[in-house]
Chain A
Amino acid sequence: MKRIINLIVNNKAYEIAVLPNRTLTQVLREDLNLLGTKEGCGIGDCGACTVILNGRPVNSCLVLAVQANGCNIQTIEGVADGNNLHPIQEAFVEYGAIQCGFCTPGMVLSAKSLLEKNPKPTEMEIREAISGNLCRCTGYQKIVEAIQAASKKMKKR
C-alpha cells in the first residue's frame, strides 16, 4: 500500500505516494530525479547518500521515505544559489578536493552542516564531521583544506 507523504526538498514542496519500504535515497533519486544523491553501499557505511534533514546530516539510505514525512530536506542540488556555487563548493573546486566525485555531494553536505553549526572548526572537528563520508581517491587532505578555506571565506561574507 502506498502512502502519501509531504516533503520539502530544496525549498520546494512535494506530495508523493510511496511504498513504505522505499528509502529516502530511492525516492530522491527515482521519484524526484535528484540524482546527485549517490548510493555507494545502501546500508549507511559510506556516506555517499548524505542529505541534510531538518538541519542534520543523515544517510538517506537509512531513512525510510515515510519517516521523512513533513521534513525539510536539502540535497546537493539545493546547495548552489542558481549558477553561483556555495563557498564550500567553490573551495572544493579550487583546492582539488574532488577526484572521482562520487563522495563529493555527501561530503559537501556534511561540510555544510558542520559549518552551519560551527563556523570556525578545528582540523580535528572537520575530520570528525566527515569521518562518516568515505573517500577512496583523495586521502581527505584536500577536502579538509577546502573546508578550512570555506570556513574562512564564509566568515568574511
Chain B
Amino acid sequence: MNDFSVINKRLPRVDAWSKVTGEARYAADLSMPNMLYAVLLQSPLAHAKILNIDTSAAKKVVGVKDVVTYKEAGTIHYGVSPARYDETMFCYDKVRYVGDEIAAVAAVDFETAMEAVSLIKVDYEELPVYLNIFDAMKEGAVPIHDDYPNNIGAEVHQEFGNVEEALKECDYVRTDKFVNKKQDGGFLEPQACLAHFDMNGNLTLYTSTQTPHYVQRTVSMVLNIPIGKVKVVKPYVGGGFGPKASANTIELAASLLSMRTGRPVKMVMSREQVFMHSRGRHQFYHELTTGVKKDGTIYALKNTCYLDGGAYSSFGIATVYYAGSLLGAPYRLPNMRYDGYRVYTNKPACGAQRGHGGVAARAAWEQQLDIIAEELGIDPIEFRLKNVREKGEVTCNDFNLSSFGMKECLEAIRDRSDWRNKKGKLPKGKGIGVACGFFVSGAGYPIYRSETFHSTAMIKLSEDGGTVELYTAAAEIGQGSDTVLTMIAAEALGVRYEDVKIYSGDTDYGVDLGAYSSRQTLMSGHAVKQAAEDVKKQVLEVLSKRLNVPVEDMDIKDGYIVFKKGQVDFSGIRSYYVKEHRGWAEQPGDDKLTFKEAARIAYIEKGTIVSAGAYKPGELGGKYKGATVGTSPAYGCSAQIVEVTVDMETGKVTVDKMTDAHDCGFAINRTNVEGQMQGSLSMGLGEALFEEVKFDEKGRVANPTFGEYRIPTALDMPNVNTIIIESNEPNGPFGAKEVGEGAIMPTIPAILNAIYDAVGVRIDELPVTSERIYNAIKEKERKK
C-alpha cells in the first residue's frame, strides 16, 4: 500500500451527479435567445463537378435568414495535418463523397431551414466513382484531388535494420494478408454546436469536440478572425473515440452564419449525418512477412499496408504512419520495414479512432505470431514472453520504453485465466486465444509544427481559502479527464478531492491539445501537478513567515497543515481566521491547522494566489522521416486472453470470457482505468464480430443506423476480468500513463486466435461473421 490520500483510489467521477440526474448539458441541449437553426445541403453524388448552385428559391422562403455556399464562405483550405489541408467549408469545384457539404441555411426554426435547403438547386457533371482503393489507383483513374494524380494521398517508406538480409537468416518465414472494414465511432451523442458572434466581435463556439484547441485554430484560420477572438467551449461530450478530434463543417458553418446574421446559430447532426461525416477507422489492407529463428526469436518484419482513406485526409497522414510504427515495438525485433499508402476514394473521410492506425495491424500480426508459434511448437504465451521487451529498452525505430510491464501483463492473464489447463484442451467448438497490445501515451508532437506546450494548467485559490479552482483546457469527453485531473490536483496540493473545483474544456483556460492519442492523464496531468505543487509552495512560504517554521518542516495533507517536527502554536492564525469569518459555514474547530486557514492567510498577505503549470515532452528519440508519429514520452502495453464458443453448425461466435491486463503505469482512479479497459474491449469485440460501414453502388452509406450498423449491446459483451499492472512510468505524473486506447489492441487478435483454437480455421477478413466462419469450416472439411 502507498500513502496517497486521493489518487490510486476508487473515487466517483466529479461529474457523476450531474450526469446521473440528467442535469448535464451537452451541445444539443444548449439554446440562446434569438437563436437560429441551420442545416446543411450535402451532396447526393459521390463524385461530380459542380456546374452551378442556385440558392434563389431557398432565400425566398419566409423565415430564412441566410444561405451560404463557398461564395460567402471562401475557399480557405483546412484539415488536420497542415501538409494535407484538402478540405474547404463548402465544396466549390467538385463533390467527393455522398454527404460532401455544399451549402447551409439558417432559419427561424429547423423545419423552415429543412424546407429551404431542399430548394437549393445544384447542377452536377458526374465523374467516375471509386469506392475501393484498387479502382482509385488504376491507371487512368480521375484524380479525386488534383495534386494526387494516382489518388495516393500519402506514402510512407521506413526501414530499420535490413529486412531482406535478415529474412535470409531466418529459419521460418511466412506471409499473410489481412483486411478489416471501415468502422464507425459509434459514440452516442451526434455532433452538435451553437455559435454566437457577438457585437463586440467575439465568437463563442459551444461544440461537441475532443479538441477545442484545434477547432479554435481552424475556425480562426478559415473565417479569418484573430485567434484571440475565438473562444471554443466544450460542454459535456457524449463520447468521441477519435472522430470528434478535428474541426467539422457544422462548427465552421454555424460560426459563419452567426457572423453574418448577428444571431446565435445552432446546428445538430442526425445519426445518418454522423455516419456520413465519419472520420472513423480506416479500412487497412495489410500484407505481413515475418521471419523467426528456430528457437522462436522474432527477427524480421515486412509490413505493407494500403489504407482506404475516403475523400479527404483528415487524420490520415498520422494514421498511415501509425499503421507501421507501432507494430513491432512490444517485441525485440531488430529488423522492420514498412511501406504504407493512403488512398483517396469517394467515401466519407476516415480519420483517427481508438487505437489510431494500429488496430488492424495488431490484429493481423498477433494472429500471424500465433500461427508461427504453433508451427514452431511453442506455446503462444511462452513465444511472446521470449520476445517481449522490458523496461529501459529502445525499439529499432527509437521508441524509448521507459516503463514496460508487458511480461507482467502476460504472466498475469496466463495465471488468472487458467491458460495452462485450457489451451489445446478445450472441447471442440470452445477455444482460447491470446494477444498483446501496445500504444503511445500521448503524441510526442502537436499536429501542427510548433514549440507550443501541449498542456497548460492554472490554479487559483478562492480568496476565502476554502476552494481550489483548477483551470484546464483539457477535454472531458467521457473518458474521465476531469476526474483524474481533479484527483492529481488534490493529491499534489494536499487537499481533499471535494475541495477542488475543475473548470475545463474552454480555450480561454489555456492551451491543451485535447483528448486524442491517449494524452490527457500524462500530459495535462503533468501541467496540473506542477501548478498544484507551486500553489502548495506559495501557501507554505507565507505560513513559514507567519509561524517562523521552515517550509521544509511543513507539508499539506488531506486539507491540513502537517508540522513534521512536532506541534506548532498556530492559535494566532486560528483566532484571526475565526474573527474574519464570523458567521460563515464550516469554521475550523479541530486541533489541526487547516489548509483553508493557511490559504486565507496567504491571500491576505499576497493577494489572490494563482499558479500555472505547463508541459511538453522533452527530447524524444528518432531523427528519421516520420519519427514524429509514434514517438511518445511513454508507452502503454497490454495482454489479453479471450475464450469463445463457436457454433459448429452456424458459425456463430459467442465471446464467453475476457481476461485483460493493462500496464497503465499507475492508476490514478482504479475504477476509471477498469472502465477504459472494458469499454475498449467492447469496441474491439464489435469490430471483430460485426461492425462494418457498408456502401451501395452509388457510394451511399447503406447502413447509417444503429439498427443496421450494430455496436455491441449488453448481451454481446461478457464480463471482463480486468487486471491493472502498474510499472511506474518515470515520465508520467505519479507514474501514470495511458489506458484509453491501448486496451483495444489485443482484443481482435485474441478473439481470432480463440476462434482458431475452437474450430481450427484462420479468418483474415473482418468482421468475423457467422457466414465467414461457416464457409471457412466447410472449406476446411472439403480439403480433408
Contacts and interface: CB of A to CB of B under 8 A. Distances in A.
A144 B711 CA distance: 18
A44 to B, nearest CB: 8
A37 interface: yes
B714 A144 contact: yes
B714 A46 contact: no
B678 A131 contact: no
Contacts of B237: 100
Contacts of B609: none
Contacts of B271: 40-43, 45-46
Contacts of B17: 85, 93
B715 A136 contact: no
Given A48-B188, A136-B679, A75 B22 contact: yes
Counting chain B CB atoms within 10 Å of each CB, the highest count among A45, A80, A142 belongs to A45
Interface string A90-127: 00111110111111110010000000000000000011
A15 interface: no
Given A38-B238, A96-B13, A101-B238, A143 B714 contact: yes
Counting chain A CB atoms within 10 Å of each CB, the highest count among B12, B681, B683 belongs to B12
B478 A100 contact: yes
Nearest to A88: B20
B671 A96 contact: yes
Contacts of B189: 38, 40, 100, 102
A35 B29 contact: yes
B270 A42 contact: yes
A40 B479 CA distance: 19
A45 B186 CA distance: 12
Range of interface residues on A (Cβ < 8 Å):
35 or more
Contact of A102 (B238, B672, B678, B715): B238
A138 B19 contact: no
A93 B477 contact: no
Nearest to A101: B19
Interface in A58-85: 75-77, 79-80, 85
Contacts of B480: 99
Contacts of B25: 35
Contacts of B671: 95-96, 142
Interface string A19-36: 000000000010000111
Contacts of A128: 714-715
Contacts of B720: 139, 141
A135 interface: yes
Nearest to A48: B188
A130 interface: yes
B683 A98 contact: no
B640 interface: no
A96 B188 contact: no
B714 A130 contact: yes
B682 A139 contact: yes
A17 interface: no
B713 A131 contact: yes
A151 interface: no
Nearest to A128: B715
B633 interface: no
B674 A96 contact: yes
Given A89-B20, A99-B679, A140 B188 contact: no
Nearest to B189: A102
A98 B16 contact: yes
Contacts of B711: 134, 136
A48 to B, nearest CB: 6
Contact of A131 (B10, B22, B477, B714): B714
B28 A39 contact: yes
B21 A89 contact: yes
A137 interface: yes
B3 interface: no
Contacts of A36: 21-23
A105 B681 CA distance: 23
Contacts of A98: 13, 15-16, 19-20
A140 B716 CA distance: 10
Contacts of A144: 714, 719
Counting chain A CB atoms within 10 Å of each CB, the highest count among B12, B21, B706 belongs to B21
Given A85-B21, A134-B711, 5 more contacts: A40-B706, A76-B22, A79-B21, A101-B18, A102-B478
9 contacts: A35-B25, A38-B189, A40-B190, A48-B188, A85-B21, A95-B671, A139-B679, A139-B720, A144-B719
Interface of B: 10, 12-13, 15-26, 28-29, 185-190, 236-239, 241, 270-271, 477-480, 671-672, 674-675, 678-683, 705-707, 711-715, 717, 719-720
Interface of A: 29, 34-46, 48, 75-77, 79-80, 85, 89, 92-96, 98-105, 108, 126-128, 130-144
